[in-house]
Each structure stands twice: as C-alpha cells, then as structure tokens.
Amino acid sequence: MLNLSTQRAISTWSIHRLLGQFAAPGSAIDGGSFIPHQEMGNRRTLIDLIPEIAEHGYHVLQICHFHLESSDPAYLGRLRTTLTAYDVSFDMLLIDEGDLTDPDFERQMAWYDDWLNVAAMLGAKRARIGAGKQSPTPKRLRASGERLGILADGHPDVRIVTENWLGATPDAESLLDVLEAAGESVGLLIDLGNWTGPDKYTNLAKIAGRAEACHAKCHFTDDGPDEADFCTALALLKDVDFNGPIALIYDGPDPDEWVGLELEWKIVESVWS
C-alpha cells in the first residue's frame, strides 16, 4: 500500500524559477547550457534551497542534471552533505540531454557514463535516461534498449530507468519494446503528463504496472489545474498498486511554485484517500 508521507517527492524542475531559471554551463552534450535561460536577479542555489525543500515537506528529491552547478567532487560532496543534514533522500538524477538513437551513439554513451558517475558520487538511487529523440523503428527501439542495458550493467550502484518521453517512445508499444530489449536491469519512470491525445489513458494503463517511480505532472491554465485529467491518470497508478515515489512536476502560470505544488499534492491525496 502506498505511503503518501514517505513517497511525496519533488523534481527540481518544479522550482526552476526559484533557481533563477538556471542551467549549468557545460550541461549540453556539445558544451554550453542545456537550455537557454535568463538568470534572474534573485536566484537561489540548489544547496541554498535544500532547507526550504525539506521545510515544505519534501524529503525525496529528483535533480535535473543541468541544475547541478558543477561536477567537481568538492561541490558534489557539499550537496550530498546538505541533503543528509536535512534528511532529504536523493532519489533520481534526471539526465535530460543526450540521444541514444543518435547515429554517433558512442559519443552519447560516453557522455551518459560521465553523468552516471556523478549520480553515483551523489548517492543517487536512480538515474533517468530517455530512450532517444529519433522516430521509432524496430531497429532503433532494440538498439536503445540494449544501450540502456549496457549503461545499467556498467553502473550497478545506480538503478537506470527510462521514461515515456521524447520521440522514440510516443506510445506504450514503443516504450515496452525498449524495456524488453533493455532487460530487467532497467526500470520505468512514468510521466502522467507527457503523452496527450485520445489514446493517452490507454497508453498509460499499458505501462502503469511497470512503473517504479512517477512524475505527477498536472496541466495548468490561467483558470487552474486540469483536475479531471490529473485524477484519471493518477487513478491508473492506484489501480495497479503503485508504490514508488510520486515526484510533483509543476510548470504552471502562477510564479509561486510552492503554491502550485501544494495544489497538485492535494489532488494526489484526494485520489489515494
């Protein structure tokens, strides 16, 4: 049975504005920053925000790779010490760059190896790697899964998971093909907001039973959260007795990210009540 109090989690993407829309130099595979940003004047560092994360009741954290200011061991050590001091568990490094279906996959694999080493130094339980950006073909999906398996075998201290995300996995069938090729050493992070369209819930239902972690992404407009959509997606996880971390993903229009996150969590609680 899911214990909401221990599985309540947050991704640093949900506090991207509090972090000053920061993207670290060198976080792109070709150098530079992974995403363009205009650093805000009131920027807070990730280490500075750990106490506030804990104060808001989040003791399970997922960190976007580009939010790490450095891969220097001294910096990573300070971050790890701060997480421990505030009883925040580092669940997952979200490696948002790279492409396992790129023709130059050896360069991609070497780049992922480096980030998985960072995940290990930080004591991450898991690391998420997307299946690839190219459109799905049987050959590409098999290759993507096999490469995920190779990365998992090379980094046994960090559990590799992939996600229903990016161009290679637009539906359940493509994602399940990747997982089959990857083998049991690779798990699944399910994102409730990445897939859209009339087959969204059918596709999510086909993979829900494989999920060991969740990105609980609720879509917001100026009128508030799309509660009906979010509840329907969450119920699919409840139906299969999901028992992993539920990491809230907020990127709605209200700049007060803590308020948006609390609205999301109340909906999560209503589904599991």
pLDDT band at 24; cut points 50, 70, 90 = very high
pLDDT in tens, 59-97: 999 999 999 999 999 999 999 999 999 999 999 999 999
pLDDT band at 40; cut points 50, 70, 90 = low
Question: Given phi > 0 = left and psi -120 to 50 = alpha, else beta, which region is 166?
Answer: left
Task: Answer whether 91's CB lies under 8 Å from 124's CB.
Answer: yes
Does residue 38 carry a pLDDT above 80? no
pLDDT in tens, 157-166: 999 999 999 9
CATH number at residue 178: 3.20.20.150
114-120 own/partner pairs: CB under 8 Å, 24+ apart: 114/71, 115/65, 116/151, 116/154, 116/155, 116/158, 116/160, 117/155, 118/65, 118/68, 118/71, 118/76, 118/93, 119/93, 119/155, 119/158, 120/155, 120/157, 120/158
| Residue bearing the bigger pLDDT, 38 or 229 | 229
- Model pLDDT, residue 41: 65
pTM of the model as a whole: 0.97
User: What domain range is 71 assigned to?
Assistant: 4-272
- Write phi, then psi, for 213 (nearest 5 degrees): -150, 160
Q: Residue written as tokens 């399970």?
A: 60
Q: How many domains does the chain have?
A: 1
Cα–Cα distance measured from residue 147 to residue 84, given in angstroms and rounded to the nearest whole number? 32
Q: Name the β-bridge partners of 163.
A: 189
